Structures are given as structure tokens and as C-alpha cells.
Amino acid sequence: MCAIVGIYGSENAAKNAYYALFSMQHRGQESSGISTADGTKIHLVKKRGLVTDIFDEDAFNQLKGNCAIGHNRYSTAGSDSLFDAQPVFARYKLGEISVAHNGNLVNKNEVRNRLIEQGAIFQTGMDTENIVHLIAKSQKDKLIDRIKDMITKIEGAYCLVIQSRSKMFVIRDRFGIRPLSLGRLKDGGWIVASETCALDLIGATFIRDVRPGEMLIFEKNNKEPISEQLFEPDFHPCAFEYIYFARPDSIIDGTNVYESRLAMGKTLAKEQPCDVDLVLPVPDSGVAAAKGFAEGLGVPFEMAIVRNHYVGRTFIEPMQAIRDLKVKLKLSPISSLIKGKRIAIVDDSLVRGTTSKQIVKMLKDAGAGEVHMRIAAPEIKYPCRYGIDTPTQKELISYNKTPNEIAKIIGADSLGFLSIDGLINSLGNQRKYSLVSFDGRYFAGGSVSSPECNDLDL
């Protein structure tokens, strides 16, 4: 996931970036950062934690300048969080540069190994560092040409904001896998952000989505950003943005997220109906789909599971009673609604199945007569390399199990998934979505290898 933002030409650049990141906190909670450029210098604040905990008055005193780029980082296993925050700042031949990146480079390791071969050092585990290296290694005189050089060497999903001391460059890969929108601030400045909810919060006007393969160049003397089409678009937006990444009030590439989820629920009702008394969502992620599902079935919808939002940083190890059913710390069933009823419980996706198993048990403990689980997405059978922190293939419960087998494992009376066609129909337009998690078909190329030096005696 991750979120990026770029602000150009605003007196409140850092604060606009801050509020934009705040509104996109759902895309990454591990760390956040903002760098600003004041024409002669780049300033950077980045840290582990939530946006509202990281940036204080001290931070804004540092973050001078009317261009700001920012990033929310999603927690990924095995990362050194201290060092793996973005933006990545560096001094290089043309001065100073700062880069924020949302996506995943499928040829990350090849690029890194080639750079390492040439003597580069890597101080983080992020592919953003690859990008900075490629820009620095380019022999071109001007930053824009170095960026174009760089872009020919990376493959995969990326939305990039690149900041020099006086300019800002924004690029969306030719597949348009990750979303990126352009808007105009009330003070005349510009914003690009991963989701339109960021524009809404700061009162910016949505202009248009950045086009797949497009680069936008923001410079001091241009009233409007210059657009340059770097690649022929080959649009494959990620279906997961609609399924669960994006906030329901965002509009991605013209498609409303909430309405997509409603539609997926309705389609699911057609494909995987069940004879139940009540439809419940897994809150908050499954609410829209569950509503659509209930409407599709013509069965009552109830918010019969309550979510506790006071979940703090560290929990004291609970007694056995809770340890067995940790999901109860977050979710509580309203037993009176459930008791004796046949229930359909709708979630947005099914990955490992561990939480679903606990939810089914919780509902049965609350007296549900039957529990039918419905997933408003197809079976996830393949790990995705375009930016989602999915587990290895073996951990994916749908990898080698049928819905019926899984239903038994999680204790549900039945289990149904949305079909891939159903998903596409629900999204309601003729796009070729990136569906790699479902069909395993990568289209953006790249093979992965990790020939790091393991000869410990050198």
C-alpha cells in the first residue's frame, strides 16, 4: 500500500502535506515523513509512528518552503523501520534530492544487484533507494533527463514524487497500477495524492487523475504543471484498491470506491446466495459489500458486530479466555441479534483464514444457528508483487484448498467467493484490471533473484 503526496507552490506546503497524509493514514501506519524544498535546500522530518504523533510545531518550523512531498509507510515484515521510512533524501551530483514512492519494483533485486556490482551501497531495504541511485548514476546533465534514464530501468508498479531544491516531478507507471490524482489548492498551489480523500480534506479541487505513463513537472515559472507522456499507457489498475485498500469516500480513476464495494456485494449475492436471516459485515472493511450483499439477497442487514477502536499499542498478555479469541479485543458481537439466527458474514477478502476462523467461532459462541461466510473478492491464490504485503503462497489459504475445504477449516457452514468475472463486472467498466493475486498473471515483467554475496570469508 503506502500513500504519497506532493504539494507545489503553496504557502502551507508542509501543513497541506501533513493533512493529506493524515487522511491517507489507512494506507500505512508504520512510519511517515515529509520533506520540503525552499529553493536552496531540502528539509526532512521522518519517523516511526502515526502522522499526528510525528509532526509537531518543531517539525513544521524545520519544514520550510512551498514544495512538500510526503509518504505513509505500510508495515512490511522484516523491515528496519527506523531506516526504512520515506521520503529518501540524498546529496548527489546535482545537489539535493528527495523521493517518495508508492508501489513495488518487480526488478528491484536485479537493479540493486547491478548497482551493487558497480560499487553502490544500500543503507535501507527500500526500492526507493534504487531509484535515487539510478538518478545519481545517470550521466545526463539535467535532473529531468536523469529521471527519464532511471524510469527505463525500473519495472513494476510505481507512483513517484521526486523533489529537487526547486522543482517537483510526479510519475505514474504506464500500467497505472497504483492511483494518483491531481488537484488544485485554494491558495493556487498544486497537489498530487494517492487518493482523492486527501484533496477533499484540505479543500482542494480535483482536476484529474495522473495518466498511466505520464510525468508532471512542476517548476517555479510555470503556472500549470507540464505534462509529458513517458510511455504509451497500458492501463491495469489494481483491483485491490477497490476491494480494500482505498478509503470508501475516494474516487479512483473515475470509479467510486464505496459504490464498487456495494456492487461487488450485489454480484456476490447473485453468484453465492444463501438462505439466511441476517447479513452482517466484518467491520469496518466489509460494510459496503455486506450492504450490497444484503440488498442483493433481500435479507436484513445489521451492524451486529461492533468494532472497538481503542486498540492501543501494547496489550498485556491476556488470560487464556481471551488468548483463544483475540479477535474479541477488536470485534464484539451483539448476541441478541445473532442468537438462533442463520447468519451471512461478509468480509472484503480472505488471506490466511486465521481471523475468519475466530470470527466464525465468535458468532457461534454468540448463538448463531448457521454461519455462512461470503467474501466480496475472488480467491487469493498468488502473492502479489505490485505493492501488497501478501504472505508467501503457502500461507494463502486459497492456494491449494477449495472453498468447501476452507469452510471446514474455519468452521463456517458455507463459504463463497466472488468470481473474477463478477469482480470485473462489479467494477463496471471495460478496463483490464491487475488481478495477479487471483489469476497469477503478471504483465509488468521481471524475474526475481537475490544473488547477494554470501561468501562470509571475503
Indicate the residue among 88 and 157 with the shorter CB distance to its own copies: 88
Does 420 bind its own copies (CB under 8 A)? Our answer is no
Q: How far apart are CA 406 and CA 414, in angstroms?
A: 9
Give the dihedral sign, CA 77/27/401/330.
Answer: positive
- For position 351 contacting its own copies by CB under 8 A, the verdict is no
Q: Is 438 exposed, middle or buried (0-12, 13-18, 19+ CB in 10 A)?
A: buried
Closest distance to its own copies from the beta carbon of 401 (Å)? 30
Q: Would you count residue 304 as binding its own copies (CB under 8 A)? A: yes
Q: Compute CA distances 163 → 3, 80, 157, whole Å.
A: 16, 24, 20
Options 4, 44, 191, 412; binder of its own copies; rule CB under 8 A: 44
Q: How far apart are CA 345 and CA 337, in angstroms?
A: 13
The CB-of-170 to its own copies minimum distance in angstroms stands at 18
Residue 77 vs 316, nearer CB to its own copies: 316
Q: How far is CA 272 from CA 99, 275, 402, in A?
A: 45, 10, 15
Give the nearer residue to its own copies in terms of CB position, either 275 or 324. Answer: 324
Residue closer to its own copies by CB (options 207, 334) is 334
DSSP 233: -
Q: Is the dihedral of CA 427, 428, 434, 436 positive or negative?
A: positive
Interface region with its own copies, contact rule CB under 8 A, candidates 134-142, 271-279, 346-354, 382-390: 134-142
Q: Does 288 bind its own copies (CB under 8 A)?
A: yes
User: Looking at 95, 188, 428, 440, which residue binds its own copies (CB under 8 A)?
Assistant: 95
Write the interaction track for its own copies spanning residues 199-238; mark x where CB under 8 A is met and - where it is not. -xxxx-----------------------------------
Per DSSP, the three-state class of 162 is strand
- Interface pick for its own copies out of 247, 266, 364, 385 (rule CB under 8 A): 247
429 binds its own copies (CB under 8 A): no
Residue nearer to its own copies on the CB measure, 313 or 441: 313
Contact 330, 357 (CB under 8 A): no
Give dist(CA 150, CA 249) in Å, integer: 34
In the complex with its own copies, the residue whose CB is nearer, 91 or 408, is 91
* 312 touches its own copies by CB under 8 A: yes
Phi and psi for 174 in degrees, rounded to 5? Answer: -70, -15
Binding span for its own copies by CB under 8 A among 153-161, 196-204, 374-382, 395-403:
196-204
Q: Hunting for cell 480534506 — which residue is that? A: 201
Residue 458 makes contact with its own copies by CB under 8 A: yes
Tell whether residue 119 is a contact of its own copies (CB under 8 A). Answer: yes
Q: How far is the CB of 211 from its own copies (least distance, A)?
A: 22
Cell of 149: 534514464
Count of residues interacting with its own copies (CB under 8 A):
100
**Paired residues of 216 in beta bridges:** 170, 227
Instruction: Choose the catalytic residue: 2, 197, 238, 384.
Output: 2
Question: In the range 135-164, which residues lie near its own copies by CB under 8 A?
Answer: 136-138, 141-143, 164
Residues between 314 and 343 with contacts to its own copies, criterion CB under 8 A: 314-316, 318-319, 321-322, 325, 328-329, 332-337
Q: How far apart are CA 456 and CA 458, in angstroms?
A: 6
CB of 178 to its own copies, least distance (A): 21
- Asked if 77 touches its own copies (CB under 8 A), the answer is no
Active site residue 2: yes
Q: Within 13 A of 320's CA, how many CA atoms are on the CB side?
A: 0
Peptide bond before 284: cis, by omega within 30 degrees of 0?
Answer: yes
Q: Output 75 or 166, the one with its CB closest to its own copies.
A: 166
188 binds its own copies (CB under 8 A): no
State yes or no: residue 456 binds its own copies (CB under 8 A). Answer: yes
Using CA atoms, how far apart are residues 303 and 320, in angstroms rounded to an integer? 28
Q: Which residues partner with 101 through β-bridges?
A: 160
- In whole angstroms, the minimum distance from the beta carbon of 173 to its own copies comes to 22
CA distance 375 to 363: 16
As beta bridge partners, residue 92 has 95
Query: Closest distance between its own copies and the C-beta of residue 437, in Å?
Result: 25
Alpha helix stretches (DSSP H) within 341-410: 354-365, 403-410
CB 257 within 8 A of CB 247: yes
Q: Find the part of the chain contacting its own copies (CB under 8 A) among 114-122, 207-215, 352-360, 377-385.
A: 114-122
Dist. CA 115–CA 220, nearest whole Å: 33
Residue 121 within binding range of its own copies, rule CB under 8 A: yes
Would you please indicate which residues are annotated as catalytic (active-site) residues? 2
